[in-house]
Each structure stands twice: as C-alpha cells, then as structure tokens.
A and B are shown apart, each in its own frame.
Chain A
C-alpha cells in the first residue's frame, strides 16, 4: 500500500515538473487538452460505470461553457463566480430531468433517449438565441485588459493552464476514488444489477442515483467552463450536442469505464490520434479521425468491452483467472 502511495506521489511530482523541464508550447497545448477532456470523460464514467448511460453530458458541458462566457461578456461577472453559477445551473437542470426519470423508473433505452433529448434542447437553445450566443458561428469571451488576467481567469501562459488543468484532473480522480471507496458504490452496483432487489435490501434507489448524477453533471459543467476559458472560443458543435456526448462515451469505453485512469487513457488515445492524423495528412484528414474512432468503438464493444486499460490491468493482475462476471459487460444495466 505504501509503495503504491509512493508511486502515485512520484508520478504526480513528475507531472507537475513537466512544464518546467519541457517548454514546447505545442506539446503543452496538447497536454492541457488531454487533461481537460480526461476530466470530462472521467465525469461521464462516474455515471457510466454504473450503467447510467447518459447522452446528455454534451448539454451539461455546453451549459458550463456558455453560462460562464455569457455572464462574463454581458454582466461582467468574473468566471470565479461564473463557473460555480454555471455548475449550479447544470446541476439544477440535471436534477430537474433526472429526478422524474429515476422516480418513474426510466432506465435502459428510455433513459438514454431522454438524456439525448436534453442535449438536443441545449444545442437548439444555444443556436436559437443567436443574438446573445452567436449561434452556430461560435462565441468568444472578451479579452480582459492586461493585468486583470487573474480576475478574468485568462492566462496567456501555457504553464499556468497546464497546472490548473492538472489540479482539476487530480481532483476528478480523487472524486472517483472517494466514490469507489464509499457505500454509494456498493449501492449503485446493486442498483445496476437489479433495482427491485436493491430497493428491497434497503437502498434508496432514487437518492443514490440522483447523487451520482449530480456529481457527474457538476464536474462536466466545470470541464466545459475550463475548456471555454482555455480555448477562448466555443461553438455549439465543439462543447454541446449529441456529437460531444457520443465522443465522451466513446473515449471512456475505449479507455475502460471501470478503472479510474481508463477515461484518461481514452482521452490520450483519441486526442493523439486526431492530432497525428491532422499533422500527417493536413486538411485531407478531415473525417478520417472519426472514421477510425467509429471502427474502434464498434470493435471495442464487440471484442474488448472493458477497454484498453481495463483489459491490460486484468492481464497483469490475474493472467489466468476469468474476469468477474458483471464487469465483462461494458455497462451493466438493470433490465426493464
């Protein structure tokens, strides 16, 4: 146990030291993107690992990004207040949609499609209110006057952003670990196997599911807000909508939904794949990255449903022991 802890601390020190040793801005940019998206994917799999497959996370991410940027541009509210407000907005929306869903036992296909409607609504609202949000042309937070970068949460320095993204990513992993070691995890696993049995065993099904959904939605909104502050440009297609939701699902599954670092591995693979294709083929590569994603997603779900990291860990830990039954399914789900 101590050796494991020491390993983690050393890994963290190495990660913190990276921008001071290696100052290449392009590489740092890629690392920051990987960290922010890893955090978003981790947020998704906090729900996804328990069979709560949501396609509404694109909506939460869009709310995080747009509410923060709109408050800053139109009301001059600093992102330090704007980000918590945007997270609260996403949380409230998550509760409004999720409570009746869980109360009325909307699971499986139905839950997926209700959440799909949610991200559809957010995308259409952003497009429809184009007088404020710029519609599908995208939106840029106003540049802060020089010297006020800290208040506006805008930094030109990639190192600062790297450290911010790293902190948030570590917090995301800590949340994952806290849930993994809590009673909630056992309750949620019971629920994902059989809701009625779990309820009979004394699990408050609705409350447990709501808790997990709320945490996941808040974290996703934070990821959206950070992405907006870092890129300084958002458009409905890059931060909200069904395509973003599917992208989260894809990366999390390829990396592995059941292990803490799985979504991170997924983010590394997807972002590096897109960048390599972009650099080596230029504009000809438009579409190829998604083609490869799609083929990989189908192959993974058929042949390697535990994801890359999940399968590797299984192989290292117990080469011969058959994997535990319920984890063999990518996402276990209570049947209707």
Chain B
C-alpha cells in the first residue's frame, strides 16, 4: 500500500510539473492574442493557424533545406510576423470601423483560407522535424527536454515583450493606445503604424510558439484546432486584453488538462477544462482578475 502511494505521488508530481511546462507555451500563445485584442480590439480566430503555418515553415527549413534549428527559428518568427502584419493590413484594416463581430468572422474566413492552403500546398500527411531531444530523468520522474526548452524559451519571449512594452517609446505608445484609442491620435501617435507593429509583434509571438511546438507535436493542416480553442478560452478566462490574467489562466488550464489526463483520457482533461471555463464565466464574467462591479 505504501509503495503504491509513493508511485502515485511521483506520477502526480510529474503531471503537475508537466502542466507547468505546458502552461508556459500556452501563456505565450495567450500573450500574443491578448496583445492584439488589447491594442486593436480584434480577436484573431485564426491565431492558431498562424502557428500552424510557422510550424510548416520550420519543417521545410529544417527538413527540406537542411538549415540548423537555430538558424531556422528567427526566419520563421520573421515570416509569421510578416504574415500577422499582412493579415492586419489586408483584412482587419478595412474592417476597423465595422462591428467587432464582423472582424471576428473575417478572421474566421482567414482560418479557412490558411487551413485549406496548407492542405492544398503541403498535403494532409503528418510531418515532424525528426529532431529527438533526450529525456531528462529526475529521480523517478521523466521530463522531455523539448518541454523544458519550450518553457524557458516561452518565458524569455514573454520577458522580451514585457521589456519592449515598458522600455521603448513604441511599446509605451502601444500600451497607451490599449488604454484609450480615441485620445492617442490627438497626442500625435500614428495609430495605423502602431496597429501594424502590434500585429507584427503578435505574429512574431505566434512564430516563436510555432518554433517551440514543432519540437513536441507533428504538423498537419488541422493542428491549429487542437490548441486554438484552448488559447481563446485562456484569454477570455484571464479577461481579454489582460496580460497578467491570461498568464495565470494559462497555468490554471494547463494544470487541469495535465491532471485530468493523469486520472483519465486526455480528452477528459480537455472536457474538464472547457467545463471549468463555462462555470468560471458565470462566476467571473469579465475574467479571473476583474473587479466585481
């Protein structure tokens, strides 16, 4: 009986730590989406599909053109950042004065476009980088280096964005626009330029997430659907546009999925997370950190 409890605890601890590691990447995804929402007031439903394109970018650069991983990653981040800027310029900018739901649905159209573009261009086969990172054994627990690396890189990425937003002039302008989008143009801020930069930064974050996720998951055109919805739920749970709330919510969700998956199938972990989300919406409609009105 005692030995059974020991093993059980080890598994529990492993699941908790894996949850934290997963939470790092989810927090990175949520940060990108929150940035876009907070500044431009638009939800990119197709955010996870940008990540998918980035993952394909990594696959082609590393597997087909034989670039080393470290050289390919910046290129992919740049590519997805450009994609984000293009998305804003082509789809969101003409709709800036339209009702918010129209913007959301238009990015839903972009979701279709990116998914089927990937299907047409890359086929529906599962692909992976073929990089197998070793497994770190800590006592009786096993953690993959891929997850540790993702966690650290995600944290670094988030710190980078934080410094950009607080220490640079452009970052300050971005935060100011998020607070009051009517006044800032009067203060001489070029909102069009700021929106484009924000979209590029959001895209860049998706690109970074792609570089990290491609280490752990196979790429296929519908891979976005497996972590896209969860990203939106994290952002809403944390309060759309609330960076710290999104950060906390990412770890809450990751733990629920990880622990739910420990006691049952992985799907039930997701079901639990979704159900938790709906319950939380009724207890705290404006997000985890919102003050009750």
Residue A330 at the chain B interface, CB threshold 8 Å: yes
What 1/0 flags go to A294-336 for Cβ under 8 Å of B?
A: 1111100110010000000000000000000000011111010
Stretch from A36-44, A102-110, A138-146 that touches the partner = A102-110
- A residues less than 8 Å from B100 (CB atoms): 108-109, 333, 335
Question: How long is the Cα–Cα vector from A125 to B268 in the complex, in angstroms?
Answer: 7
Q: Is B180 an interface residue (CB 8 A)?
A: no
Question: Which residues 153-209 of B sit at the A interface, judged by CB distance below 8 A?
Answer: none
Contact partner, B277, options A117, A128, A242, A330, Cβ 8 Å: A117
Asked if A333 meets B101 with Cβ closer than 8 Å, knowing A104-B285, A128-B271, A302-B94, the reply is yes
Cα distance A97–B99 in the bound complex, in angstroms: 24
Smallest CB gap from B121: residue in A: A287
- Tell me the nearest residue of chain B to A243, going by C-beta: B225
Interface string of B83-123 (1 = CB under 8 A from A): 00000000100110011111011101111111111111000
Task: Pick from A241, A287, A302: contact of B116, CB below 8 A.
Answer: A287
Contact between B102 and A330, CB atoms less than 8 A apart: yes
Check: A159 CB closer than 8 A to any chain B CB: no
Answer yes or no: B140 CB below 8 A from chain A CBs: no
CA distance A317 to B99 in the complex (A): 26
Q: Could you tell me the distance in whole angstroms from the C-beta of A128 to the nearest C-beta in chain B?
A: 3
Interface hit among B12-20, B22-30, B56-64, B229-237: B229-237
Please judge, given known A-B contacts A109-B240, A297-B106, A332-B99, whether A114 and B281 are in contact too, CB under 8 Å: yes
Q: How far is it, in angstroms, between the C-alpha of A333 and the C-alpha of B100 when the chains are bound?
A: 8
Q: Is the CB of B271 within 8 A of A246?
A: no
Question: Is B275 close to A, CB under 8 A?
Answer: yes
CA A241 to CA B118, docked complex, whole Å: 20
B281 touches A301 (CB 8 A): no
Asked if A298 contacts B233 (CB within 8 A), the reply is no
Q: From A51, A109, A127, give the contact of B43 (CB < 8 A).
A: A109
Size band of the interface chain A makes with B: 35 or more
Q: Which of B37, B43, B109, B270 gathers the greatest number of chain A CB atoms within 10 Å?
A: B109
Contact: B102 with A128, CB < 8 Å? Answer: no
Q: Are A298 and B113 in contact (CB under 8 A)?
A: yes
A20 to B265, CA, bound (A): 51
| Residues of B with C-beta under 8 A to A108 | 100-101
Q: Nearest B residue to A295 by beta-carbon distance?
A: B113
Assess whether A294 is in contact with B240, with CB atoms less than 8 Å apart.
Answer: no
Instruction: Please report the C-alpha to C-alpha distance between residue A113 and residue B101 in the assembled complex, in whole angstroms.
Output: 11
User: What's the minimum C-beta distance from A295 to chain B, rounded to whole angstroms?
Assistant: 6
Task: Decide yes or no whether B267 CB sits under 8 A from chain A.
Answer: yes
Known: A127-B267, A246-B111, A298-B110. A101 touches B281 (CB 8 A): yes
Assess whether B120 is in contact with A287, with CB atoms less than 8 Å apart.
yes
Residue of A nearest to B285 (CB): A104
Contact of B285 among A105, A125, A332 (CB under 8 A): A105
Instruction: Please determine whether A112 and B98 come into contact, CB atoms closer than 8 angstroms.
Output: no
Please provide the chain A residues from 110 to 159 with a CB less than 8 Å away from any CB of chain B in the complex: 110, 112-114, 116-118, 120-121, 124-125, 127-128
B278 within 8 A of A: yes
B36 to chain A, nearest CB (A): 12
Q: Is A286 an interface residue (CB 8 A)?
A: yes
- Complex interface: chain A residues within 8 A of B277 (CB): 114, 117
**Bound state CA distance, A249 and B112, in angstroms?**
12
Beta-carbon contact of A128 and B267 below 8 Å:
yes
- Asked if B111 contacts A113 (CB within 8 A), the reply is no
A305 and B98 within 8 A (CB): yes
Residue of A nearest to B275 (CB): A121
Kindly identify, within residues 101 to 149 of chain B, every residue whose CB is under 8 Å from any CB belonging to chain A. 101-102, 104-106, 108-120, 124
A29 to B282, CA, bound (A): 44
Q: Is the CB of A298 within 8 A of B116?
A: no
B11 within 8 A of A: no
Task: A304 to B225: give the CA distance in the assembly, Å.
Answer: 28
List which A231-260 residues lie within 8 A (CB) of chain B: 241-243, 246, 249-250, 253
Which of chain A's residues have a CB closer than 8 A to the CB of B265?
A: 128
Contacts of A53 in B (CB 8 A): 101, 104-105
With CB as the reference atom, state the residue of chain A lying closest to B112.
Answer: A294
Question: Is A290 part of the binding interface, using a Cβ–Cβ cutoff of 8 Å?
Answer: yes
Inter-chain CA distance A153–B118, complex, in Å, is: 40
Query: How far is the CB of B181 from the nearest CB of chain A, in Å?
Result: 14
Given A114-B278, A114-B281: A329 and B98 interface contact (C-beta under 8 Å): yes
Q: Whole-angstrom distance from the CB of A125 to the nearest CB of chain B?
A: 6
Give the distance to chain B from A132, nearest Cβ to Cβ, in Å. 13
Report whether A106 and B281 are in contact in the complex, using a CB–CB cutoff of 8 Å.
yes
Q: Which 5 interchain pairs have the tightest Cβ spacing?
A: A294-B112, A287-B119, A297-B109, A294-B113, A128-B267
A-B contact pairs, 28 of them (CB 8 A): A100-B281, A109-B37, A114-B278, A116-B232, A117-B233, A117-B274, A118-B278, A121-B274, A125-B271, A242-B225, A287-B117, A288-B120, A290-B112, A293-B109, A293-B116, A294-B114, A295-B109, A296-B109, A298-B109, A298-B113, A301-B98, A301-B106, A302-B91, A302-B94, A329-B99, A330-B99, A330-B102, A333-B101
Q: Which residues of A contact B (CB under 8 A)?
A: 51, 53, 97, 100-101, 104-106, 108-110, 112-114, 116-118, 120-121, 124-125, 127-128, 241-243, 246, 249-250, 253, 286-291, 293-298, 301-302, 305, 329-333, 335
* A291-B117, A301-B102, A301-B106 known, 5 other contacts, Cβ within 8 Å: A110-B236, A287-B116, A289-B116, A297-B112, A301-B98
